[in-house]
Amino acid sequence: MDLGSLLTSTLTDTLEVSLPLFRVELALSATIVLVLLCRMLPVLRWLDSALVALGGVAFALWYAWSDLRGLPGSPWPAVVAATHPASQELFGGLLIFDSLTAYIRFLLAGFLVLYILFTKISGIPDREDGADFYTLVLGSSLGMCLMASANHLLMIFMAVEMASVPSYALAGMLKGRKASSEAALKYAVYGAGAAGVMLYGISLLAGVLGTCHLPSMAAELGRIVGDGADSFYVADSAGPIMVLTLGGLMMAVGLAFKLSAVPFHFWCPDVFEGAAAEVGAFLSVASKAAAVALAVRVAFGLGWLGDAADASAAGLADVRHFLVYLIGLMAAVTCTLGNLGAYGQTNMKRLLAYSTIAHAGYLLLGVAAAVAMLGVDPEGCRKAVTALAFYLGTYLFMNLGAFAIVAVLRNRLRSEEIAAYAGLVRSNPGMVVAAGAVLVSLVGLPPLAGFVSKFLIFSSLVEAITKGIERPLMLVLLVIGGLNTVISLFYYLRVLKVMTFDPPPEDRVAAPAPVWLPGALVTAVVVPVVLLGIFWSGLYAYAQLAGTFAS
Amino acid sequence: MNIVVASAVPLLGLITEPVSVAHYLVVGAILFVSGVVCMAMKRNALGVLMGIELVLNGANVNFVAFASPYLQGEGSRSLGLDGQVIALFVILLAAAEAAVALAITLNFYNNHATVDVDRADDLKG
Amino acid sequence: MSALPMIAGALIAAPLPVAAINWHSLFFLLFASVSCGFAVAVVAADNVVRMAFYLVLSLGATAGLFFLAGAEFLGAMQLMIYVGGTLVLLVFGVMLTAQAPLVAIKGSGRDRVLAGIVGVALLALLLQAAFSVKPWRAPAAGVVAEPAATPIGMSLVGVRVDEPAVGAPAANKRPGYMLPFEIVSIHLLVVLVGAAYLARAKRRKVPRAIEVAASVEPPASVAEHASIGRERHRSGSVLAGGRP
């Protein structure tokens, strides 16, 4: 093949196949450049960075929405005929576009729109810092979009780095404060360490399997772990399997860090407490959604090869068995320690950090159920992924709402301690009602959104149990998940008790701050938490669409 | 004579035999472990950053070894160009990470007047 | 101890061992021992300036290992970006923060022992991994490595001109690397903006934290009030203007 035809085929693939499905990332990249240009050029300096960022993100949201609608089986087939393939490798196999990619991108873009409005209202990046702040946020989100669609080891590592490194700088946003710089330092050091360990694991996996392309890796993995006879390491697969296990565990370290799963969660409370509440919201929602998507990508990518029943199928069943136990164990420990750690916290951001850890555990329960049913029971697996997607959708509103309330109250009370919220119901009943809705939803009580999502996760565990798939583990996970819900009840409700029953402190700063704009913000984020608990079928339809990639 | 010397000093085999991928992996492992220990033990934040560089470099040595056509022996497999390209991008990403980590360290130094990571203990509970 | 002169004598006396030397392996040994030796020295040193120097030597020798493995472009990049760029950055950091009492911060003995034990255990595990795959132990067949600079450059514009790798799985895809090459430029831009933001001085209304930290720990809320108060004042006034 001569160079000319190589170039032509590359161009065709890039321009006609890959780039049209890559518009969300392109919009984010263009927004980054625009935000910086507007700050650099004196002519455009009057433009507020937040507005520029908001405009760009709105484009990204529109593209993400049309990508989602263009998928086959979209809940809106009457409006648009399916224009996109159900699954398409982009850029020669580096990325993959499917329903999970489209759904996570849509969530991220939607989150960004709300988030920029939130930061604009709460005022943490002031105008001077706005360009830097939004550049970092958009750059990190770009990495998260890539995390959701990575299909190659290089892209996995690069996406994790792209999502993490800007967020280290975000954690140090309040650069004059000791706590903030300490949070940034801890986050950067632990994060870089986890990424390094992950990279070493990736190198071992790639070295044994001889490829970096996830589906090819899965095929090879299945052959080696299976009877090993027709694999590359003909009769001598014990050594390679040991190296693969080691490499897989090291890679899991990096993913667990991004998910803030125990035992790699210790950074989370410190970073959330030290960084601004706005940054906490970003890390807790966007970063978590992308990390869950990447965990699903890697677990599904390495554990399943479509319906093709060849020599590797039996080996992959063993791989999945290993993954289910690894993820399930991590989920159980993460839930429990996250919820126990939340007791006795006096700082609201720290409490929310432990709550984030616990919710990462619930999400991992869903991942475990999905991986358990993968390839065995396609219908159940689809339902489990649907539950995860739905959970992420509601979690966006719950946690954004929680952090928005913390930020608004900080601006009013000048404190983020739970004790400072005492007796708030007398001066600010609306905020207490909103906080009540968010916290009760985080517990998972009906009739709020958190209940529906938790119910879906637990019911996919039940489905695995009734079908006898990994029954003992799933049973244990279900019991632990249920117990944790009860444990979590008390510390969330304690905050509400302080807000309503405790007498307000004598020295409370009278805050004549205007309330309608922050109030509108909190309402806009909290109302979906209530509505999604009752009218959940709309979001569920899209979550189901996200689940179709697993079939 | 050759055999006598080789048996007297087992390490002499290292310079008479051709190297293999495993030789490189040993170097990678030593660099990686040095980096991990450095990160765990150093109290100077800059020392921790140096540990990170060592860790990434250890992984890079592995990638180069797996990618190298020269080191491949009987019945081994190679990552080919992919391994080298990954190592190249890792160098770039490490540079970016070092820039941010250093800025964060200097910021920490400005606020705390020290780079001792054990003094980063305000946040706990 | 008497073994050393004996071996040296044997090497000089007998022409056969010299001829039997595999020069590639000898240079590998040289670079590998410099690389590993100074990596361990980085761990062992207390003085941060020395650590930086040892790190330069260790990473420089690693570039030599890359050349020996036939990755000449990568070796050059290692020297230029890592040794020439990243490490100089770290040395700047050392210079900016190197006050006499801070140059050598000694860890406690207990930490050292613990880190040593963990390190040795981890090393044992990784070494076992390195030797447990049989094809990795196979001595190099001595293929002459092709220059890699052109294929790397072409792959970065999205075209693969290299030969398929030996022993790759049948389904393996060989993507061009144009996407990461382009996207990493956005990443570098973002990261530099972040680093510049953190390094830039912001107008301060609170006493410089250094001076405060040197005297007394301020009430935790002082700095926070100052910064948040300013924000509130600003947004508050905007809002007040919008309200009758």
Phi/psi of residue A176, each to 5°?
A: -85, -5
Count of the separate structural domains present in chain C: 1
pLDDT band at C241 (very low <50, low <70, confident <90, very high): very low
pLDDT computed for residue B9 by the predictor: 57
Q: Does B23 touch chain C (CB under 8 A)?
A: yes
Residue C154 lies in a domain: no
Helix (H, G, I), strand (E, B) or coil at B36: helix
B68 and C71 within 8 Å at the Cβ level: the answer is yes
A135, A36 in Cβ contact below 8 A?
yes
Instruction: Give the range among C31-45, C83-97, C132-146, C194-208 with minimum mean pLDDT.
Output: C194-208
Chain A residues with CB under 8 Å of B104 CB are 168-169, 172, 181, 184-185, 188
Classify strands A88-90 and A95-97 as parallel, antiparallel or unpaired. Answer: antiparallel
Residue A260 lies in a domain: yes
Residue A152, strand partner residues: A213
pLDDT computed for residue B44 by the predictor: 87
Give the CA radius of gyration of chain C: 27
Helix (H, G, I), strand (E, B) or coil at A329: helix
Domain holding A458, by residue range, is: 21-550
Name which of B20, B59, A209, A242 is nearest C128 in CA terms: A242
Cα(A248)–Cα(A242) distance, integer angstroms: 10
What domains sit in chain B, N to C, each tagged with a CATH number?
A: 16-112 (1.10.287.3510)
Say which CATH number the domain at C140 has: 1.20.120.1200
Chain C residues with CB under 8 Å of B43 CB are 105-107
In degrees, rounded to 5, the angle at the alpha carbon of residue A227 between the alpha carbons of residues A225 and A229 is 110
Residue C157 lies in a domain: no
Summarize the confidence of residues A75-96 as an average pLDDT: 79
Cross-chain CB nearest to B107 (options A184, A269, A350): A184
Please name the chains neighbouring C, where neighbouring means 3+ C-beta pairs under 8 angstroms: A, B
Interface A-C, measured as beta-carbon pairs within 8 A, has a size of 190
Cα(A90)–Cα(A21) distance, integer angstroms: 8
pLDDT computed for residue A513 by the predictor: 59
pLDDT computed for residue C226 by the predictor: 41
Q: State which of B39-43, B115-119, C95-99 shows the largest mean pLDDT.
A: B39-43
Residue A97, strand partner residues: A88
Classify residue C131 as exposed, middle or buried by CB count within 10 Å of its CB (0-12, 13-18, 19+): middle
Q: Give the list of residues 6+ apart from residue A118 with CB closer than 8 angstroms, or none.
A: A278, A281, A400, A404, A407, A521, A525
With a cut of 90, say whether residue A150 has pLDDT above it: yes
Percentage of chain B surpassing pLDDT 90? 54
Summarize the confidence of residues B80-101 as an average pLDDT: 94
Cα(C148)–Cα(B68) distance, integer angstroms: 10
Residue A16 lies in a domain: no
pLDDT computed for residue B56 by the predictor: 95
**What would the two tokens of residue A324 be?**
């289910």
Residue A93: left (phi > 0), alpha (psi -120 to 50), or beta?
left
With a cut of 70, say whether residue A174 has pLDDT above it: yes
Q: Can you point out the beta strands (E) in A355-444?
A: none
Q: Is the peptide bond before A447 cis (omega within 30 degrees of 0)?
A: yes
* Residue A475: half-sphere exposure toward Cβ, Cα within 13 Å: 8
The CA-based dihedral angle spanning residues A309, A312, A318, A321, taken in that order and rounded to the nearest 10 degrees: -50
Interface B-C, measured as beta-carbon pairs within 8 A, has a size of 332
Instruction: Give the range among A120-134, A481-495, A533-547, C211-225 with minimum mean pLDDT.
Output: C211-225
A158 and C175 within 8 Å at the Cβ level: the answer is no
pLDDT band at B63 (very low <50, low <70, confident <90, very high): very high
Q: Does A189 touch chain C (CB under 8 A)?
A: no
Residue B80: left (phi > 0), alpha (psi -120 to 50), or beta?
left
Instruction: Give the range among A20-34, A484-498, A522-536, C134-148 with minimum mean pLDDT.
Output: C134-148
A192 and B111 within 8 Å at the Cβ level: the answer is no
Summarize the confidence of residues A495-519 as an average pLDDT: 78
C22 and B96 within 8 Å at the Cβ level: the answer is no
pLDDT computed for residue C212 by the predictor: 40
Residue C87 lies in a domain: yes
pLDDT in tens, C73-127: 999 999 999 888 888 888 888 888 877 666 667 767 788 888 899 999 999 999 9
Residue A230 lies in a domain: yes
With a cut of 90, say whether residue A136 has pLDDT above it: yes
Which secondary structure element, helix H or strand E, spans residue C153, and what is its range? helix C149-156
Residue C78 lies in a domain: yes
Identity at B33, one-letter amino acid code: V
pLDDT band at A64 (very low <50, low <70, confident <90, very high): very high
B82 and A154 within 8 Å at the Cβ level: the answer is yes
CA-based diameter of chain A, in Å?
A: 82
Q: What one-character DSSP code corresponds to residue A44? A: G
Residue A7 lies in a domain: no
Helix (H, G, I), strand (E, B) or coil at A36: helix
pLDDT band at A232 (very low <50, low <70, confident <90, very high): confident
pLDDT computed for residue A9 by the predictor: 87
Please name the chains neighbouring B, where neighbouring means 3+ C-beta pairs under 8 angstroms: A, C
Name which of A244, A259, A241, A333 is nearest A296 in CA terms: A259
C94, B93 in Cβ contact below 8 A?
no
Q: State which of A175-179, C108-112, C218-222 shows the largest mean pLDDT.
A: A175-179
pLDDT computed for residue A225 by the predictor: 86
Residue C75 lies in a domain: yes
- Other C-beta atoms lying within 10 Å of the C-beta of residue A243: 22
pLDDT band at A248 (very low <50, low <70, confident <90, very high): very high
- Other C-beta atoms lying within 10 Å of the C-beta of residue A491: 22
Identity at A201, one-letter amino acid code: G
Helix (H, G, I), strand (E, B) or coil at A97: strand
Question: A122 vs A39, A118, A308, A376, CA distance in Å?
Answer: 21, 6, 53, 48
Which secondary structure element, helix H or strand E, spans residue A90, and what is its range? strand A88-90
Chain A residues with CB under 8 Å of B63 CB are 203, 206
Cα(A497)–Cα(A515) distance, integer angstroms: 23
Count of the separate structural domains present in chain A: 1
Residue of B46, B62, B66 to mutate, interface with C, max C Cβ within 10 Å: B46
**Helical segments of A415-536, H only:** 424-427, 429-443, 449-466, 471-500, 516-534
Mean residue pLDDT of chain A comes to 90
**How high is the ipTM of this complex?**
0.93
Place of tokens 């979550």: A543
pLDDT computed for residue C6 by the predictor: 57
Residue A30 lies in a domain: yes
Residue A182 lies in a domain: yes
C36 and B72 within 8 Å at the Cβ level: the answer is no
Q: Does A192 touch chain B (CB under 8 A)?
A: yes
Summarize the confidence of residues A431-460 as an average pLDDT: 92
Cα(A424)–Cα(A431) distance, integer angstroms: 8
Residue A227 lies in a domain: yes
Residue C240: left (phi > 0), alpha (psi -120 to 50), or beta?
alpha
Cross-chain CB nearest to C168 (options A6, A210, A513): A210
Summarize the confidence of residues A33-53 as an average pLDDT: 89
pLDDT computed for residue A78 by the predictor: 55
Q: Give the list of residues 6+ apart from residue A281 with CB closer than 8 angstroms, or none.
A: A115, A118, A399, A400, A403, A404, A407
Residue A8 lies in a domain: no
Domain holding C59, by residue range, is: 10-145
Cα(A492)–Cα(A488) distance, integer angstroms: 6
Question: A81 vs A17, A84, A295, A549, CA distance in Å?
Answer: 18, 9, 31, 18
Mean residue pLDDT of chain C comes to 77
In degrees, rounded to 5, the angle at the alpha carbon of residue A497 between the alpha carbons of residues A492 and A498 is 100
Give the CA radius of gyration of chain B: 20
With a cut of 50, say whether residue C208 has pLDDT above it: no
**What would the two tokens of residue A511 be?**
């805050």
Q: Can you point out the beta strands (E) in C17-156?
A: none
Specify the higher pLDDT residue, B42 or A312.
Answer: B42
Distance between B70 CA and the closest CA of chain A, angstroms: 15
Distance between A216 CA and the closest CA of chain C, angstroms: 5
Cα(A197)–Cα(B58) distance, integer angstroms: 10
Specify the higher pLDDT residue, A154 or A125.
Answer: A154
Summarize the confidence of residues C140-167 as an average pLDDT: 84
Helix (H, G, I), strand (E, B) or coil at C47: strand
Instruction: Give the range among A86-100, A303-317, A393-407, A518-532 with minimum mean pLDDT.
Output: A303-317
Helix (H, G, I), strand (E, B) or coil at A82: coil
Distance between A210 CA and the closest CA of chain C, angstroms: 5
A176, C225 in Cβ contact below 8 A?
no
**What would the two tokens of residue B46 be?**
């800059």
Residue C167: left (phi > 0), alpha (psi -120 to 50), or beta?
left
**Helical segments of A70-98, H only:** none
pLDDT band at A229 (very low <50, low <70, confident <90, very high): low
Q: Does A157 touch chain B (CB under 8 A)?
A: yes
